[in-house]
Each structure stands twice: as C-alpha cells, then as structure tokens.
Structure 1
Amino acid sequence: MGLSAGDEDLYRCLLRLSEGTPADLAAHLGRPAAEVGEWLDRLEGMGMTSLSDNGSIRPAPPAIAVQRLIDLRVRELREELTSLAAEQRVVESLLAERDAVRPTAREVSERPAIERVEGTPNVRAVIDELTFFTRQEGLTTQPHGALSAASIEASRPLDARILRRGIRMRTIMRPAAVEDAPTLAYLQEIAAMGAEIRISDKPLERMLVFDRTAALTPIDPQNPRLGALVIRETGLVANLVSLFERMWSDSVPLEDAVAARPGPEGELSEIERKVLATMYQAEKDESGAREVGVSVRTYRKYVADLMQRLGATNRFQAALLARDHGWI
C-alpha cells in the first residue's frame, strides 16, 4: 500500500506506545535516529501521524490511516494511467476509430443547437460523454424526490468520478429525498465527498447542465423514458442556468432539511427548538443564525414559520407562547 518495511514498523510501534518522541521511537526500534526521522517524515506526509500538544507524535487511527493509504494509491494510479494514456495517445486512437464511421469534426461542430436523443440507453451514453469532458461544474435537479436503487447505483460511479476530479457538483432535490432512507444515505455519502446538495419544497424543472455550455432536459417531463433534448445553444443554456440559480436560492442545504424533519407525533424538530431558544435572546438574526448553525435566510424562514404556527405577532410573544405549549 505504499509503505516501506521501516514505515510500517514505525507505525506499528506508535500504535503500541500510543505516542512517543523521535528519540523514544528510535530506542524502541533499535534504529538510528536519522533513519527513524526519515520514516516519520514519510508517515506525516501520508497523514498517518499527528503532533500532540506536548510535542509527542501520535498515530492516526488504523481505519483512517488505511483509508489515506488507499486514497494515495488510487491518486497515484490515476495519475500513472492518465500519463500513460496521454503518452500513447489512447483517446486520439479511439476517436480515430469512431470518427471513421461518424461525422467529421466540422460536421459535428455544425450539428443543431438542440438535438433529440431518444431512449434511456442513448441518454445515459450522452450523459457519460458530457460528464467525461466536464471540467468545472455540474448542475442537476431531481424533481421526483426519492431515487430508485438502480438510479443510485448508476449515479454513484459518475458522481464519485466528478468529485474526485475536483469538479463542483450542485444538486437540488425534493423533500421526499430526505424522507427516503436509501436516497438520504446516498446524498449524505456524496455530500461527504464534496457535493453540494439542497432541498426545495417548490416545483423543480428537470435538467442537467455541464460547464454551462451544454444541458439536458426531458423531451416530455411527464415521460422521462421518452428521451432528452441536448441543448448547446449558448442563450438557451444561459437561461437554464439562471433558472437553476433561482431554484437554488429558493432551497435549503441538505443538513438543514435533515435537522428540520418533524419529531415523533408532530413534535418540533431539533432545529426548530434551537431557533425558538434564540428568538428572544439573540439581538440580531445574524447572531441567532450563527448560534443555530444555519444561514440568515434559513433562520428567518424558520422564525416566520414558527410565528405563524404559534399565532404570534412578534418574536418575544412567540417565545412566551412556545413555553406555554411546552415546546421550550
């Protein structure tokens, strides 16, 4: 996994000792301090050790250490294969095979600004190709809420590939996605990898946008299996991006939506209780939002909803009524 015998011996020694100084480790291993110092530098570079407050060296937990080794090896392998493919001009060779029976580059550049692609397999092939050439950002909306098991399995490798390449990925889902355990687990999985997920309780238009230069929308929103329209017209794509940004601004972060789920038997959610607790204490919405851990916009939305539920005319009255209800 990329460790030398000395690196591994040192890490195992640290696990046995819990922590130690370079001199301690050299004594336990019976190796020269300079050699142990080189091993320590390598382990630190791989994220397998950390420095404690007292200056001692601590090992990273085994599960984390192994995952970091795996990530390093995967990155090295990817770089090696990418370099090899470039040196041997693999893509160019395969494109030459394809273009022998496909339109020329000039014909491709002159294809319609809007193309009709019918059938799920053909649509997926277009998405794969556009995803492969995406370099900066991918925008997606899912107006149907929960994802099927097949959709999750098909999306997982594509989404992971995009995020590993450092591409920004933003997705808007419906509230049903938060209520469906498999969908929520998948969204939290890709969010941990860097994806930005938001939940909207307003109608969504289905779209995928790649680098703001190409977009896909369904031919028939009521029958997505029919196929998709591939749009490359600059003005139309820009309008779709503007629509996405409006839907994005009307949505809330995934973590806020999860925290806002109602408690059992219609009880307040955890985040609603926190908002109530700050409503009459925080001098400004900014400080209240900061204390709750949400954006100011989201905080104000919760305040308005709670005041409406309580029938309060001001925030102080809302807090008093909430106490009368036993909410806080």
Structure 2
Amino acid sequence: MGDTGGTGDGEPDLAFLGIGPEDERFYRLLLRSGGADPGPFVRHPEPDEETVRALRQRATTLGLAAMADGLLRPVSPAKAVQHLIDARLARIRQELETKAAADAIVASLLAERDAATTSDAIACADRPPVERLTGIDQVRAAIDELTFFTRSESMTTWPTGVMRPEIIETSRPLDARILRRGIRMRSLFGAAALDDPPTMAYLREMTAKGAAVRVSRLGLERVLLFDRAAALTPLDPSDSKRGALLTREPGLVATLVSLFDRMWEQAQDIPAEVDEEGPAAEGERPTALERRILESLCTADKDENGARDVGISVRTYRKYVAALMHRLDASNRFHAALLARERGWI
C-alpha cells in the first residue's frame, strides 16, 4: 500500500527531537484521523498486528498519544513537542552531568580556586574539618558545591516551615537535579508549612518526584547534611544570612545525623490534600475526612493533637470541627462526638 503520511512533502521532521520517521508518520496520521486506528495507513505492505501495537506503544511512551474513549488519541501538537523538548533536555542534562562527574571537572576547577587562596602545600583534600562561612554568598556557594558532589543522600531541615516564593524557585532546579540523579532526599519542615499553600504545593510536587518529606510540630534545628559526610549549620539560628559552619569532622557529622534521625522519627508525613468536595452538605453522611475528625474528638484533648492525628493543619481542623458542630447542632465538641455516634457516623 502506498504511503499516505510521512514528511516527504516538505514538512519539517521531528528527527532533531529524537523521533524516527515511522513514529512521526504515525503521529501525523493520528492527528489527521483524530484517533481512529491508523493501522492500515502505516508504511507496510500489510501492516500486521504486532507492528501496529509497537507503533501505538511507542507513541504513548513518547508522549505523542494517549488512550481516550477506547481509541488512541493524538496529544495536542504543542503539548507533544514540549514533552519531546523536555525529554531531550533531560537526556542532554544527564549526559553532561555524568561526563562532568566522571572527568572530575568541578574538583579540577576547585583546585584552581584553592591554589589562589592557599599555599601550594595545602591540597584541596586537606581542608580543615570545620570551616566558617561568612555571608549568604559563601553559604550558597558551599551548598552548590556539596550538592554537586552528593551521591547517595541529602537531608535538610526547615524549622520555620515556610518557603518564600523566591526560595521555592531557587530550590526547584537544585532539588529536581538531586532527585533525577537517584539521590535519596529527606526534608523536615516546621508545622507552619501546613498553613502555607505555596509551601505545601511545592512539598507535594517534590514528593511526587520521589522526595521524602515530613512535618514536625516539635522544634527543629537547622541543618543540611550531605552523604552523611558533610554538614552545614547556621552561625546564628535566628539569622541564616550571617553565615554557617561547614564541618566534615566525622564525629560531629555523625552526631548531627543522629539528631536529624531523631527529629525525623518524631515527625509525620505530609498530609494528603483535603477532600476536594469539602464538607458534606446538610443531611448527607460525613466524608471520610469528617469521620476521622469526629473520631478524633473522642480521643484528642487539644486541637493540635487532633489535627496531628488526622493529618491536616490546625486551621483546617478547626474549620471542619465548626462545620460539623453546626450540622449536628451540638453545643460543644464532646456533644458533637456523642451525636455523631447516635447517628452512626462513627
């Protein structure tokens, strides 16, 4: 059968994005057909089932098509091309990072820098076990360097719990690069994160990419740990801009790792997003979240404890409790729990 697709009519091809001619013809035919099975149009004398299945699978894997209504539908061209660009950039970035690491490029450049500021007798590997970094610029430079050389695990605490928008934008590419390299990332945040939507959105974004994130209602100490071999702690916990101490002393690092592990065990995973439908309407049975909140009224003596047990912020917990008391016409929380039991809600 003659070829009715392809790029032989002067159309620009997608080879520069890593797409072969056959896969491109298949995608163009999907666009023209709107999703009908384009098997008969594939450039094969008699397209067999295995050939068509392979083309469909590759189109899905490449982000060119997706199943909908029982048919393989083409993804919009803008979305498909952006996906291909992102995939190509990710491959190039990975290749460059692997090459830079294999050739020890950063170590070589650091040796040049250190040679200008230290005597020839002091090698890069002979840095003091504890360094004092003054000012935010030195701290950021150290974080960049330590992050680049991290190979297995990154551990960080954010005692304030809240990440400002500019911090999120700065952290996003660094965190994504760590996760893309398969490094284990654990981050601990103060409870204020639960009441800050931008921070929670970012934490869920990182969790979806493989990071482990927990929130603690107890006090946290600010520390950044890299491969359990280096640690950064602030010179002044109340003002991180003043600088930090960088230590590679094994005993000190082991102590800080132990501190982090204890704080981690006392924290909880970030809660799932609150039910999108919100509180149930008057006369309806409570949602799963509302039932957990009603159960907590029977056991928790404080809102903070109830919110922790349910896995939501205190503010959200109180909002739901108020709504439930109104629906139950309860005079207090204990009364609400009793009425809920009478109705069979818990």
- TM-score, structure 1 as length reference: 0.71
Could you say which residue in structure 2 is the equivalent of 1:27? 40
* 3-state SS, counterpart of residue 203 of structure 1: coil
C-alpha change, 1:87 and 1:125, in structure 2 (3 Å) is: closer
Deviations 1:111-160 (Å, cap 9, x if unpaired)? 33221111011100001100000011111111112112222222122111
Q: Distance in 1 between matches of 2:74 and 2:213?
A: 30
One of 229, 235, 238 as aligned partner of 1:213: 229
Note if contact 1:174-1:199 (Cα within 8 Å) is conserved in structure 2: yes
The 5 Å alignment of 1:239-258 reads 239-256=255-272, 258=273
Larger Rg: 2
Q: Distance in 2 between matches of 1:325 and 1:77?
A: 61
Q: Report the number of matched residues.
A: 289
Query: Where does structure 2 lack aligned partners over 5 or more consecutive residues?
Result: 1-16, 280-285, 297-305, 318-331
Q: Distance in 2 between matches of 1:59 and 1:127?
A: 45
Query: Where does structure 1 lack aligned partners over 5 or more consecutive residues?
Result: 280-297, 313-317
* 3-state SS, counterpart of residue 43 of structure 1: helix
One of 55, 69, 72 as aligned partner of 1:58: 72
The 5 Å alignment of 1:179-190 reads 179-190=195-206
C-alpha change, 1:86 and 1:164, in structure 2 (3 Å) is: closer
Note if contact 1:197-1:254 (Cα within 8 Å) is conserved in structure 2: yes
C-alpha change, 1:326 and 1:88, in structure 2 (3 Å) is: closer
- TM-score, structure 2 as length reference: 0.68
C-alpha change, 1:325 and 1:150, in structure 2 (3 Å) is: farther
Deviations 1:89-117 (Å, cap 9, x if unpaired)? 75465345324314458544343322111
> In the alignment, does 2:99 pair up with 1:81?
no
Note if contact 1:310-1:322 (Cα within 8 Å) is conserved in structure 2: no
Q: Distance in 2 between matches of 1:211 and 1:83?
A: 18
The 5 Å alignment of 1:1-328 reads 1-14=17-30, 16=33, 18=35, 20=37, 25-29=38-42, 31-32=44-45, 33=47, 39-40=55-56, 42-43=58-59, 46=62, 48=64, 58-59=72-73, 61-62=75-76, 66=81, 68-82=83-97, 85=100, 90-91=105-106, 94-95=109-110, 97-103=112-118, 106-256=122-272, 258-259=273-274, 272-275=289-292, 301-302=309-310, 320-323=338-341
Q: Distance in 2 between matches of 1:143 and 1:237?
A: 19
Amino acid across the alignment from 1:322: A
Overall identity of the aligned pairs, in %: 45
For the aligned residues, what is the CA RMSD?
4.1
C-alpha change, 1:105 and 1:254, in structure 2 (3 Å) is: farther
